[in-house]
Amino acid sequence: MSAKILTSVAALALSAGAAQAEFTLNILHINDLHSRIESVNKYDSTCSAEDDAAGECFGGVARVATKINELRDKITAEGGNVIVLDAGDQFQGSLFYSTYKGKAAAEFMNTIGFDAMAVGNHEFDDGPTGLSDFIDIVDVPVVSGNLDLSQSNLLKGKVEDSLVLEVGGEKIGIVSALATDTVETASPGPNVIFQDEIDALTADTEALEADGVNKIIALTHVGVTKDLKIAEMVPGLDIVVGGHSHTLFSNEEDSKYKYPTMVGEVPVVQAYAYSKYVGHIVLTFDDDGTLISAEGEPVLLDASVTPNEAITARVAEMAGPLDELRKKVVAEVSDVIDGSRDACRAVECTMGNLVADAMLERVKDQGIQIAIANGGGLRASIAAGTVTMGDVLTVLPFQNTLSTFEVDGATVLEALENGVSQLEDGAGRFAQVAGLKYTFDASAEPGSRVSDVMVMEGDEWVPIDEAKTYGLVSNNYVRNGGDGYSMFVDAENAYDFGPDLADVTADFLAENAPYTPYTDGRITAK
């Protein structure tokens, strides 16, 4: 293969003495598209017409199609071998998903032509029914090997444990796993049973090897930390192509991880999220099926990539019914409201303060003192200037409702500990708060990280009382145990059917326009 196909070449020799390459495989891959059917701006929100005209848009399925078709056609024309993979989370993240559910994702995946897709946790956001309906209409094999679906009438027989693709006369095996905490981050229901990711991948890899498959890809949706462990712990894998943590692997851009990152002799790759990149990794195997090199770089889908015309027209057609709501002006803001994943899952962020303040303001006359917003529920930032309802819905796409309930102070402390229990993994459970202040020490043992918890009583901050009952507000997902908040499931006087969180936030912005984003030290890291 010519290196000209790649944005950059980062060749990594894996073994010596292999002068002739027997087989070369190009893998084009995306992950965590999250219903970014339309192009996005630098904050990963839907791109405006003004930004589009200025050439400041990225991604969208029309650009994904252009780049995949361009690369695939070129590789094929040169006699090369290529497969196209999706590492999960097509669902959730824009009005396209709220309106069309999995139908939009399936239509565009079919048009582009993927060879395999891993199940992401958000594919379960509408329960097993949502995933089942999607599989019924998508022409792409869907794979996840650590799901026991034998008890699910909806999904039994629909999700493959593993796949074997015939490419260039060679058998390419694909094994897959989905993060086991999906029971906390989505709604798989009681009949979807999760098995340990490494155990399942090991068993599926061994089964493929027993069938004579000696080139095996792990297509996973478990996050970068687990991917690196999988590469280390699962014998027989040739590469891990991952998703879930929205991590950019790159040799050219500012990134913690090189593309690929080598774990021993196993390369690991991921391509950020939100349709912004197409990953392109080139694997070369010797005559015995041993991987001897892995090289590549994700391709940035900026304005230099011309969107596919037919898909652009179809996207515009589907967007028509959404535009009236999206274009409704909510407020003006003086600065960027930071809803980035890196911030809102680790520290006090301006988007977290906005949403938590909005929740508390809506219900404080009901005796509610504390608001907790899960950082993972905040899906984008908002640029300075005019804010539309479309902007708000991109930040808060889950159609979660306001939920009020009562728990004692000890339960609040347990909830805050849960919030900081997976900081190392960038988990969505991090607690953005209002009416409450706390300090945490990330270096302390889980379960003892939180200290100095204060609650606003009247006009004063007072230490939380573990025995006292407090009124809390969150969203229905958190109140029902999502993101590890199982301590709220049996809360007293729970009411989960309040207004949509996006509407609450939009109303708060309007009432406080022009809005100035801020942090005030309510969350302190030692």
- Residues 331-377 have pLDDT tens digits of 999 999 999 999 999 999 999 999 999 999 999 999 999 999 999 99
Mean pLDDT value across residues 485-512: 94
What pLDDT was estimated at residue 387? 97
The position carrying tokens 């770089």 is 297
Mean pLDDT value across residues 162-182: 97
Q: Are 391 and 454 in contact (CB under 8 A)?
A: no
Retrieve residue 318's tokens: 């589907």
Task: Write down the pTM of the prediction.
Answer: 0.82
DSSP character at residue 7:
S
Does residue 5 have a pLDDT over 50? Answer: no
Mean pLDDT value across residues 202-231: 98
How distant is the alpha carbon of residue 394 from its chain centre?
A: 14
What percent of the chain is predicted at pLDDT more than 90?
Answer: 88
d(CA 432, CA 282): 41
What pLDDT was estimated at residue 271? 98
d(CA 162, CA 175): 5
DSSP secondary structure, 172-193, as one string: EEEEEEE-TTHHHHS---TT-E
Average pLDDT, the chain: 94
Confidence band (pLDDT; 50, 70, 90) for 129? very high
What pLDDT was estimated at residue 69? 98
Confidence band (pLDDT; 50, 70, 90) for 401? confident
What pLDDT was estimated at residue 20? 53
Confidence band (pLDDT; 50, 70, 90) for 8? very low
d(CA 33, CA 91): 8
- Residues 448-478 have pLDDT tens digits of 999 999 999 999 999 999 999 999 999 999 9
Mean pLDDT value across residues 123-150: 97
Sign of CA dihedral 31, 34, 40, 45: negative
Domains of the chain by start residue, with CATH: 3-317 (3.60.21.10), 328-525 (3.90.780.10)
Does residue 15 have a pLDDT over 50? Answer: no
- Residues 275-292 have pLDDT tens digits of 999 999 999 999 999 999
Q: Which residues of 149-164 are buried (b: 16+ CB within 10 A; e: fewer)?
A: beebebbeeebbbbbb
